[in-house]
Amino acid sequence: MATYSTNEFKGGLKIMMDGDPYVIVDNEFVKPGKGQAFNRARVRNLKTGRVIERTFKSGDTVEAADVVDVDLQYLYNDGEHWHFMDPQSYEQLTADATAVGDAAKWLKEEAICQVTLWNGVPLSVSAPIFVIMTIVETDPGLRGDTSGGGGKPATLDTGAVVRVPLFVQSGEVIKVDTRTGEYVSRVKE
């Protein structure tokens, strides 16, 4: 069993606690001049995303989590699972809805995604930061409508809905920032 000493603690380190994988968000070394030293860490549960505080006696060890980030190509969704492939080894991996989460609406076939693996199994999927999508449906015209000013909703080919400027029409290809879910620009194909 691989372990880390509290001496190795820093942001990004993956550890096991109570059977779940966690990532250290930040770590503070606290020590009274004449007393016990502690590592006071904020850690994020990689399954739930919840951030909690945990304290360790300095010098103690904690089990390492077998968690790695890999770039995988998204292949397809079979209605229940999302299938990915390692572009180097051609090995295929399957992710469930919990792992894919909100990234689902940004996944287009062949896109390269960062997938976090825990013991070799997808734990979470991050969509690419920018995706290129086709608008399948949005209200036409509406020119001269000044009431909103914030654009109009548009449904994309993955089913995601984003707000786009009034001049953007169905069938057009746009660039979207998946971190905020916001329209960035039109894309000339």
Partner 1 sequence: MDANSLAWRPSGDGATLRLRAELLARIRGFFAQREVLEVETPALSAAAIPDPHLASFAVHYTGPGPRHGQTLYLHTSPEFPMKRLLAAGSGCIYQIARVFRDGEAGRRHNPEFTLLEWYRVGFDHHRLMSEVAELVAELLAGRLSLAEPERLSYREMFQRHLGLDPHRATVAELAAVAKTQNVSIPPGMPVDNLDPWLDLLLTHCIEPDLGIEPELGQGRLTFVYDYPVSQAALARVRPGDPPVGERFELYLHGVELANGFHELGDAGEQQRRFAAENAARRAAGWPEMPIDDHLLEALDAGLPECAGVALGFDRLVMLAAGKTALAEALAFSFERA
Binding span for partner 1 by CB under 8 A among 33-41, 135-143, 154-162, 168-176: 33-41
Q: In what helix (H) or strand (E) does residue 132 lie, and over which residues does it extend?
A: strand 130-138
State yes or no: residue 130 binds partner 1 (CB under 8 A).
no
Half-sphere exposure for 95 (CA within 13 Å, toward CB): 30
State yes or no: residue 38 binds partner 1 (CB under 8 A).
yes
CB nearer to partner 1: pick between 2 and 80: 2
Q: What is the Cα–Cα distance from 35 to 174, expressed in whole angstroms? A: 60
Going edge to edge, which strands form the sheet with 112-118? 92-95, 82-85, 67-77, 112-118, 121-126
CB nearer to partner 1: pick between 33 and 49: 33
Binding span for partner 1 by CB under 8 A among 32-40, 116-124, 151-159, 181-189: 32-40
CB nearer to partner 1: pick between 19 and 120: 19
| Size of site (CB under 8 A) for partner 1 | 22
Q: How many angstroms separate the most distant Cα atoms in the chain?
A: 74
Q: What is the Cα–Cα distance from 103 to 95, expressed in whole angstroms? A: 12
Interface with partner 1 (CB under 8 A) = 7, 28-38, 40, 52-60
